Structure 1
Amino acid sequence: MTPRNDPLEAAALERFMRATRAVNAAFDATRGESGFEPDGHSVARSLERLDAALRELETSEQSLDAILSRRAGH
């Protein structure tokens, strides 16, 4: 792949990288639950955060794929 100064591609790649980091952080938070609240709110919040991060990762990946496919002429 030849590097280009395509601002749309750069923005999509940055979004994907941010989403990847957010998934990693959210996953780490779910594993780091040392104490469970009696009502389970902290666990639920951690899982909601992970779910949202995974959705953003999927969306950002689809956007990046579309941009790269268009660039490759597919």
Structure 2
Amino acid sequence: MNPRNDPLEAAALERFMRATRAVNAAFDATRGEPDLVHDGRSVARSLERLDAALRELETSEQTLDAILSRRAGH
């Protein structure tokens, strides 16, 4: 069965892909900080965004893994 036939799997895969893109964008934002604006608050916000994106990536990966494992009969 491919993801097009399983809406749950397709949704999990889409969530994982969105989370991956969010991590990439958040990481790029941390590298792009030109200086410590307002006592480092800008950098802190970028790092918080990266942390949140990494947590979502981990959660979405676990969800996708569970769905794929169930499908494979594990």
TM-score, structure 2 length as denominator?
A: 0.94
- Between the aligned residues of both structures, percent identity stands at 86
Q: For structure 2, which runs of at least 5 residues remain unmatched after alignment?
A: none
* 1:3 maps onto 2:2 in alignment: yes
Which residue in the other structure is 1:45 paired with? 45
CA distance in 2, matches of 1:11, 1:61: 12
How many residue pairs end up in the alignment?
73
The structure that is helix-richer by fraction is: 2
Q: For structure 1, which runs of at least 5 residues remain unmatched after alignment?
A: none
TM-score, structure 1 length as denominator?
A: 0.94
Which residue in the other structure is 1:27 paired with? 27
Moved more, 29-38 or 8-17: 29-38
User: Which segments of structure 1 move beyond 6 Å, counting only runs of 4 or more?
Assistant: none
Let me know the Cα RMSD of the aligned residues: 1.0
C-alpha deviation, 1:50, in angstroms: 0.1
CA distance in 2, matches of 1:62, 1:19: 12
